[in-house]
A and B are shown apart, each in its own frame.
Chain A
Amino acid sequence: MTKSRFNPWTWLWVTVATLYFFVPLWGTFDFSLRMKRGAITFLAYQKVFADPKFLQSFRYSATMGVITVIVSIMLFVPTTYWIHLKLPRLRPVVELLTLLPFIIPVIVLVFGLIRTFSRPPFRMTQTEFTTDILITAGYVILSMPFMFRAVDVGMRAIDVRTLTEAAQSLGAGWLRVLLSVILPNLRVAILSGSLITFATVVGELILADFLVRPALGPYMVVVGGGKAYEPAALGILSFGLTWICLGIIQLVSRGDVRLQPIGR
């Protein structure tokens, strides 16, 4: 590859791509600053942060995000560990299952969850608490491809069998092996999976909207329907949050965030 040769064709596409990336971002940012006529102010942001409903919905979404991350870790790390150690035969099956959310759109998933769990004998949508359980399950399913893949890749990079045998020969039990040997070795993988899970949950609209929970997604749609400048500010804030999460992943894992989230 010759390096410094000027190639107009190359630069044309690089320019187009860069513009496509940055113009909407810049446009949104610019728009969000123009709430007051003839002046550049952060008024729209102040309005957003002054709205108690924003803080409430953000707190709800962030809490759900953390709960989802914890449940995901508890569910996927031991499973992946066990498959790597004892049941490598099952790996293709599990891998296929974890990719199912790519085939079943969220709107179909929520439709199925409502049809199944809102009627007797479950009646899970009748109280807020049981609805939250249902929505957490939905979030875990949504973020499953990322969490599983992150943990799976991390697990492949370490020698699970040797580590386990070494720990066991020193007298560690299963729980001890998982907590003090496997988990620390998966730090980066689990952090990546957790961050993308968190970002997915906080930005998610469909599950929260149809299960009628006060999350950030539905709140943003309501604001977007009634106001002009606050949505732009919210858009920038949301961009910021997602990009911080994904940026950290890129930093710690050095690239390859080739996962696309579900729930657009």
Chain B
Amino acid sequence: MPPLLHQVFRPVPFCTYYRMAEIADTRLARLQPRAGFKLAAVWTYLGVLPFFVFIIAFLIFPATNLFAGAFQDAKGNFTLVNIQGLFSPYILKAYRTSLEVSLITSLSGGVLGFFVAYAITMGAAPRWVRSMLLTFSGLAANFGGVPLAFAFIATMGRTGFVTAILKSICYSAADASKVCPLDPYEAGFSLYSTVGLAVTYTYFQFPLMVLVITPAIEGLKREWREAAENLGASAWQYWWHIGFPVLLPSILGATLLLFGSAFGAYATAQALTGGSILLVTIVIGQQIRGDVLGDTNLGYALAFGMVVVMAVCIALYTVLDRRTSRWLRR
């Protein structure tokens, strides 16, 4: 027996129908785009097609093509010999030199950059000093390549500006001795060595650190410091128990970014040393010019290994960055 009209209507308050209508409405709304799914969606995705075609053609495809070569022998068969070849002494040494330079400069740049960022945020540096240093950091972090190498050759090369000044100090002395302790080249320094390369890289490394870490230091809440001081903490205790632990992920992340930035650098090292310091990038460059490794596919493996290191760096940086941006946003 079908229910009578009033039996259907009466037990349920009106607002329920209203809500049911609402639900039905949203369901309909959700359904509607699906009705025209095929044509509309295809048109919509067509709009980003040029971008994806471009990226795939000139970035993804060449890169994967290269990495495929890392797992092939000369005839194109699958092999792991090239990856094994990465552990030969010559290539290991290149990786070690690259890691060394990147590690040294990410630490030197990181420490210097951190203290500069601290000085212009927490320290009592006047506003104009702060904006000047931030502006120059923006510029210097963007500087690199061949001109940077030229600048350091002109400044700290054998006849460079600073070298000449240091030399003139001791040779102009009355008892001009043959040995000049102030001459950096007498003291064993050379711009064309790993140390010289590190000094040069630091020119773009520490400004990068300043730019990345300044927002993090600014994110330290003043309440935390006041609370710590109210409880009788010294400045040292505050930093050791609160400031430093809070900043640690940002510092680590920024250092990783610096590491990657130095690890992938080629032009500065090439222009500075003419390729005499065998970094991974330099070896890859020589491999492109002529088959120095005696095996083309080994060159591809070298490039592949490099991208793996870079990818790990950037991935870790992203994870750490996300962690810090959580509390930076308040």
> When chains A and B are docked, how far (Å) is the Cα of A250 from the Cα of B136?
11
- B2: CB under 8 A from chain A? no
> When chains A and B are docked, how far (Å) is the Cα of A260 from the Cα of B50?
26
Give which listed residue, B118, B133, B270, B307, contacts A221 with CB less than 8 A. B270
Question: Are A1 and B124 within 8 A (Cβ)?
Answer: yes
Give which listed residue, A1, A27, A203, contacts B146 with CB less than 8 A. A203
Which A residues lie within 8 Å of B48 (CB)? 79, 82-83, 87, 90, 94
Interface residues of B in 125-163 (CB under 8 A from A): 125-126, 129, 133-136, 138-156, 159-162
Give which listed residue, A83, A97, A261, contacts B142 with CB less than 8 A. A261
Q: How large is the interface on A (under 10, 10 to 19, 20 to 34, 35 or more residues)?
A: 35 or more
Which residue of B65, B119, B120, B142 has the most chain A CB atoms within 10 A of its CB atom?
B142
Question: Are A205 and B271 within 8 A (Cβ)?
Answer: yes
Question: Are A24 and B112 within 8 A (Cβ)?
Answer: no
Interface residues of chain B: helix, strand, loop or mixed (majority): helix
Interface residues of A in 17-60 (CB under 8 A from B): 17-18, 20-21, 23-28, 30-32
- B103: CB under 8 A from chain A? no
Which A residues lie within 8 Å of B202 (CB)? 20
Min CB gap A1→B, angstroms? 7
- A259: CB under 8 A from chain B? yes
Which B residues lie within 8 Å of A105 (CB)? 263-266, 281, 306-307, 310
A115-141 contact mask (Cβ, 8 Å, vs B): 1 or 0: 111000000000000000000011011
> When chains A and B are docked, how far (Å) is the Cα of A145 from the Cα of B260?
16
Nearest B residue to A25 by beta-carbon distance?
B151
> When chains A and B are docked, how far (Å) is the Cα of A264 from the Cα of B102?
13
Min CB gap A37→B, angstroms? 12
Which A residues lie within 8 Å of B268 (CB)? 264
Query: Which of A3-11, A61-69, A152-160, A182-190 faces chain B?
Result: A3-11
> When chains A and B are docked, how far (Å) is the Cα of A224 from the Cα of B157?
13
Give which listed residue, B145, B147, B160, B162, contacts A263 with CB less than 8 A. B145
- A231: CB under 8 A from chain B? yes
Give which listed residue, A11, A235, A258, contacts B154 with CB less than 8 A. A235
- Given contacts A75-B51, A232-B154, whether A258 and B211 have CB atoms under 8 Å apart is yes
Which A residues lie within 8 Å of B196 (CB)? none
- A252: CB under 8 A from chain B? no
Which residue of A5, A7, A17 has the most chain B CB atoms within 10 A of its CB atom?
A17
B295-330 contact mask (Cβ, 8 Å, vs A): 1 or 0: 000011001001100110010000000000000000
- A110: CB under 8 A from chain B? yes
> When chains A and B are docked, how far (Å) is the Cα of A26 from the Cα of B160?
11
Which B residues lie within 8 Å of A204 (CB)? 145
Question: Are A20 and B206 within 8 A (Cβ)?
Answer: yes
Nearest A residue to B140 by beta-carbon distance?
A21
> When chains A and B are docked, how far (Å) is the Cα of A264 from the Cα of B160?
22
- Given contacts A141-B59, A203-B145, A235-B150, whether A106 and B155 have CB atoms under 8 Å apart is no
Q: Which residues of A pack against B, CB within 8 Å?
A: 1-7, 9-14, 16-18, 20-21, 23-28, 30-32, 75-76, 78-79, 82-83, 86-87, 90, 94, 97, 99-117, 137-138, 140-141, 196, 199, 203-206, 210, 217, 220-221, 224-225, 228, 231-232, 234-235, 238-239, 242-243, 246-247, 250, 255-264
A–B complex contacts, Cβ < 8 Å, 24 sampled: A2-B124, A7-B123, A10-B123, A14-B129, A17-B112, A24-B151, A28-B151, A31-B154, A31-B155, A75-B51, A87-B48, A109-B59, A109-B63, A113-B58, A113-B62, A115-B69, A137-B54, A220-B147, A224-B149, A235-B147, A239-B143, A246-B138, A257-B142, A259-B142
Q: Which residues of B pack against A, CB within 8 Å?
A: 44-45, 47-48, 50-51, 54-55, 57-59, 61-63, 65-66, 69, 112, 115-116, 118-120, 122-126, 129, 133-136, 138-156, 159-162, 202-204, 206-208, 210-212, 260-261, 263-268, 270-271, 274, 281, 284-285, 287-289, 299-300, 303, 306-307, 310-311, 314
